[in-house]
Chain A
Amino acid sequence: EVQLVESGGGLVKPGGSLRLSCAASGFTFSSYSMNWARQAPGKGLEWVSSISSDSNYIYYTDSVRGRFTTARDNAKNSLYLQMSSLRPDDTAVYYCSRVPPEQRAPVAPTTDSWGQGTLVTVSS
């Protein structure tokens, strides 16, 4: 069974930093591109970042580029999101998700498995 478990969320002050982790199991993690998405409380979904299986291609949405860094460790079956210069509008539940290998889009909007998410709250 595919499992994705996010961790690392919490309360942080504006301008602060936080590192999220996503532990993957039940599939060959090193063969899949992965995405991060977020959902502000009571709001819709927003794609945040994608990373290819070999980390050669990493993409970010405009609002986080230069502040967030996505990385992965295939030996540890883990995905990471390093967030810095955090702002109140970064407050959201952050989800990691898996991109099916057959996806052909340059940056895939399709993800077939999601974690339960971890809440990040940016507030003074």
Chain B
Amino acid sequence: QSALTQPASVSGSPGQSITISCTGTSSDVGGYNYVSWYQQHPGKAPKLMIFDVSNRPSGVSDRFSGSKSGNTASLTISGLQAEDEADYYCSSYTSSSTHVLFGGGTKLAVL
């Protein structure tokens, strides 16, 4: 099964808001509320930012929020900061034999 679809890159200026989309199918994103988002800085391990579509782990800034509509999940980052520049990946449970899918990743540039 193919990976979830994310834009390759997005950009924004400090203080602005951006949204990253993650499109799947009714067998994954659309069918279950098991979507997570990860942030990864170069050379570092991924960090969990959002789980179960819209929940933030403790310690994650409330500038990060998640939502879902149909087969597309979204990660919104408000009040962009330089430290937000990183790669972002969505992930979802899937009813297929693959079990868990990741998106291809989105590179966020803070200009």
A and B pair up: yes
In Å, the complex CA distance between A115 and B45 comes to 7
- Taken residue by residue from 43 to 67, chain A's Cβ proximity to chain B (1 for < 8 Å, 0 otherwise) reads as 0111100100000000111100000
A110–B3 touching, CB < 8 Å: no
B97–A62 touching, CB < 8 Å: yes
In Å, the complex CA distance between A108 and B36 comes to 9
A44–B35 touching, CB < 8 Å: no
Residues of A in contact (CB 8 Å), total 27
Instruction: For residue A124, give the distance in angstroms from its CB to the closest CB of chain B.
Output: 27
In Å, the complex CA distance between A110 and B19 comes to 20
A109–B104 touching, CB < 8 Å: no
B32–A105 touching, CB < 8 Å: yes
B35–A109 touching, CB < 8 Å: yes
In Å, the complex CA distance between A61 and B109 comes to 31
Instruction: For residue B42, give the distance in angstroms from its CB to the closest CB of chain A.
Output: 11
B22-62 with Cβ < 8 A to chain A: 32, 34-36, 38, 40, 45-48, 51-52, 57
The answer to the question of A32 belonging to the interface, with a C-beta cut-off of 8 Å to chain B, is no
Q: A109-B35, A109-B92 are in contact. Are A61 and B100 (CB under 8 A)?
A: yes
**Chain A residues with CB below 8 A from B3, complex form:** 44
**Chain B residues with CB below 8 A from A44, complex form:** 3, 89, 102-105
By a beta-carbon cutoff of 8 Å, the part of chain A in contact with chain B is 35, 37, 44-47, 50, 59-62, 95, 100, 103-112, 114-117
**Assuming A45-B105, A61-B98, A105-B93, what are 12 further A-B pairs, CB within 8 angstroms?**
A35-B100, A37-B102, A44-B104, A47-B99, A47-B100, A47-B101, A47-B102, A61-B100, A109-B35, A109-B100, A112-B48, A114-B46
